[in-house]
Each structure stands twice: as structure tokens, then as C-alpha cells.
């Protein structure tokens, strides 16, 4: 079941983040504060609940655009990976944004070889590599940006 994140979910979501080694999990409190306070600018936080949160996705509208969103975080606990949960979160997010009339979803990841599985995850779900910023994260580590047009007929023809 995919549902909005609540403050009660934070301890379990911190365990998901720690298990994936994404960033220091104590940052989650500050990252979710505006959202949990009801501020729409806090983005959209969802969790995959299977007897407790086992996955999380965070989206934020791109400033100074119309209908462009960024998927800034997606994680599934390693014990639950490979079972379609990440795909379920992505598809759920795409549907919510499409239903709201949004146009584009962007996601970024590292260009390092150890992130090839992550890049393949996005490619197999219809995301296309839109840009690569060389040496963005660190010397030798590019930022790779993927893009997906949302909704029927939203992809331009060429």
C-alpha cells in the first residue's frame, strides 16, 4: 500500500535510508518538516507500507517552471528490493502527477559505474538520459539527469 508519509513513519524510514546508505538519516527530520507541517512547498512524500514503511519517495516541484517535478529520493529497504516495490512507487508518483496535469518528471543519479543498476532502473521504466554534468558531485563523478514526459500525448514527436 502506497500512502502519504506521517511523522510516525520517520523512524522506519530512517532505517530504510540507513540500510541503503543514502545520506545521514537524521537529515530526514529537516527534509520532511515543511511537508509534515502541511506546507505544499514541502513537496510530496510517500511510503510503501507493508506492515510498516519499507520504501520512500520524495518529489518536489521544480522552481520557476510549469508542471516540472523532481524525484529527489527513492529508496526501498534492501530486504524488499527486487520485488517491484521501487517500480510501484515510481508508477504511483507518475500517476499522481499525471492526474494533477503535470508535464515532466526528472530524476538524477551518479554516473559512477556502481550506479549502473540505478540508471538501468530508470531506463527500463521509460526515462531517457537528458543531461550529464561532468564532475558534478566530485572529481570523476558525473551527475546524470533522466527525464520522462507525463500523460498521454505529452512526449513531443520528432
CATH number of the domain within which 8 lies: 3.40.630.30
Number of domains forming the structure of the chain: 1
Q: Is residue 41 part of a domain?
A: yes
- What's the predicted TM-score (pTM) here? 0.88
Residue 50's pLDDT is: 87
Residue 155's pLDDT is: 53
Q: Is residue 102 part of a domain?
A: yes
Q: Is residue 101 part of a domain?
A: yes
Q: Is residue 154 part of a domain?
A: no
**Of 107, 139, 144, nearest to 125 (Cα)?**
107
Q: Is residue 155 part of a domain?
A: no
Q: Is 33 a residue whose pLDDT tops 70?
A: yes
**Of 59, 125, 55, nearest to 85 (Cα)?**
55
> Rounded distance, CA 94 to CA 100, Å?
10
Copy the grid coordinates of residue 73: 529520493
pLDDT single digits (tens) 72-94? 999 999 999 989 999 999 999 99
Helix (H, G, I), strand (E, B) or coil at 109: strand
> Rounded distance, CA 137 to CA 109, Å?
10
Domain housing 135: 2-149
Q: Is residue 115 part of a domain?
A: yes
Q: Is residue 157 part of a domain?
A: no
Average pLDDT of the chain to the nearest whole number: 92
Q: Is residue 156 part of a domain?
A: no
Residues 6+ positions from 104 with CB-CB distance below 8 Å: 67, 68, 69, 147, 148, 149, 150, 154
> Rounded distance, CA 156 to CA 158, Å?
7
Distance of CA 19 to the CA centre of its chain: 17
Amino acid at each position: 500500500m502506497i500512502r502519504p508519509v506521517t511523522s510516525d513513519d520517520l523512524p522506519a524510514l530512517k532505517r530504510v535510508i540507513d540500510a541503503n546508505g543514502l545520506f545521514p538519516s537524521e537529515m530526514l527530520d529537516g527534509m520532511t518538516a515543511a511537508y509534515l507541517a502541511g506546507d505544499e512547498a514541502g513537496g510530496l512524500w510517500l511510503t510503501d507500507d507493508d506492515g510498516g514503511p519499507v520504501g520512500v519517495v520524495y518529489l518536489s516541484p521544480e522552481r520557476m517552471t510549469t508542471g516540472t517535478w523532481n524525484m529527489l529520493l527513492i529508496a526501498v529497504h534492501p530486504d524488499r528490493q527486487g520485488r517491484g516495490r521501487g517500480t510501484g512507487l515510481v508508477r504511483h508518483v507518475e500517476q499522481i502527477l499525471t492526474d494533477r496535469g503535470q508535464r515532466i518528471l526528472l530524476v538524477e543519479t551518479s554516473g559512477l559505474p556502481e550506479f549502473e543498476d540505478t540508471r538501468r532502473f530508470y531506463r527500463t521504466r521509460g526515462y531517457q538520459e537528458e543531461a550529464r554534468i561532468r564532475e558534478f558531485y566530485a572529481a570523476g563523478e558525473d551527475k546524470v539527469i533522466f527525464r520522462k514526459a507525463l500523460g498521454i500525448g505529452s512526449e513531443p514527436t520528432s
